[in-house]
Amino acid sequence: MKPHTNQLIGKAILDALPTRPLDSNKGNFGSVGILGGAPGMTGAVLLAARAALHLGAGKTYAASLSSGITLDCMQPEIMLLDPSQLLDTALTVLAVGPGLGQSEQARQLLESALKNPAILVLDADALNLLAASPDLKNLTLARTSPTLLTPHPGEAARLLACDTKTIQRDRPAAALQLAEKYCAWVVLKGAGSICTGPGKEWRINTTGNPGLSSAGMGDVLTGMVAALLAQGLEPFAALQLAAYLHGAAADALLLQGIGPVGLTASEVMLEARKILNQRAI
């Protein structure tokens, strides 16, 4: 089959990555912070942080709005802070949204995050809060470092004040509109994720399968995008490589009989690490 003109060639981005120098140290691979986790959704922030760690971030921090969580017992490498401490930490990339909720505290934290000099990735409830507030939109437009948005079609519809059907009718057009409206880099998720940015160029990802239609997969994608940005990839390349690896991991697991039914987000991040290490950054 002839490749689509706008088909994302993830393998080419992967093959072009430089290998890690022998004398590298953790400071060379960036610091990622993940902010989210309202009560009942701490899992979302941990999934994103674990994905950032496994995809190669030099240091990974996380902060949850649910009080009292000081350690990820499964992944003690992650440094768990209070939200205010996280926002005072020097970060290469800050990702806000997984399980964040839409409380007043969440809104205030997002407002501070939008003023943070780190590269910013907005997902899930950060996108819902942004969609509901002209003030937060103005802060987004005023940012001087890159902003990336990772909406699923439901979140994209809220951001563009339309319905999900309209988004799905012309997904490239919707992604381009989002990039323009928020002056941001965008991955519009779902089967055939669309990656685009302010330059109007767009790519469609062809990896992935319905095994990915399960809760937590988007949180893992956010952590993966953050890790690739922290290691120096440009926003457009980071979005494309993350979408490619996320889908390719699910496809590889399918061939092993893991999925589509019962595939978990935790399995996807480990398989994505394996594929990334075929050409380690």
Ligand X SMILES: Nc1ncnc2c1ncn2[C@@H]1O[C@H](COP(=O)(O)OP(=O)(O)O)[C@@H](O)[C@H]1O
Ligand Y SMILES: NC(=O)C1=CN([C@@H]2O[C@H](COP(=O)(O)OP(=O)(O)OC[C@H]3O[C@@H](n4cnc5c(N)ncnc54)[C@H](O)[C@@H]3O)[C@@H](O)[C@H]2O)[C@@H](O)CC1
Site for ligand X in 157-196 (CB under 6 A): 189-191, 193
How far apart are alpha carbons 180 and 170 in whole angstroms?
16
Q: Interface with ligand Y includes 44 (CB under 6 A)?
A: yes
Label residue 1 exposed, middle or buried (CB < 10 Å: 0-12, 13-18, 19+). Answer: exposed
- Which of 98, 113, 128, 121 lies closest to 38, judged by CA? 98
Q: Out of ligand X, ligand Y, none, which partner does residue 212 contact, by CB within 5 to 8 A per kind? A: ligand X
Nearer to ligand X (CB atom), residue 146 or residue 216: 216
Among 218, 223, 235, 247, binds ligand Y (CB under 6 A): 218
Site for ligand X in 96-155 (CB under 6 A): 124, 152
Q: Interface with ligand Y includes 153 (CB under 6 A)?
A: yes
- Residue 213's identity, in one-letter code, is S
Q: Out of ligand Y, ligand X, none, which partner does residue 50 contact, by CB within 5 to 8 A per kind? A: none
| Segment interacting with ligand Y (CB under 6 A) among 25-33, 83-91, 95-103, 252-260 | 95-103
Nearer to ligand X (CB atom), residue 92 or residue 222: 222
Among 210, 274, 277, 280, binds ligand X (CB under 6 A): 210
How far apart are alpha carbons 237 and 228 in whole angstroms?
9
Nearer to ligand X (CB atom), residue 59 or residue 189: 189
Q: What residues make contact with ligand X under the rule CB under 6 A?
A: 124, 152, 189-191, 193, 208-210, 212-213, 215-219, 221, 246-247
Q: What residues make contact with ligand Y under the rule CB under 6 A?
A: 41, 43-44, 98-100, 124-125, 152-155, 164, 190, 215-216, 218-219
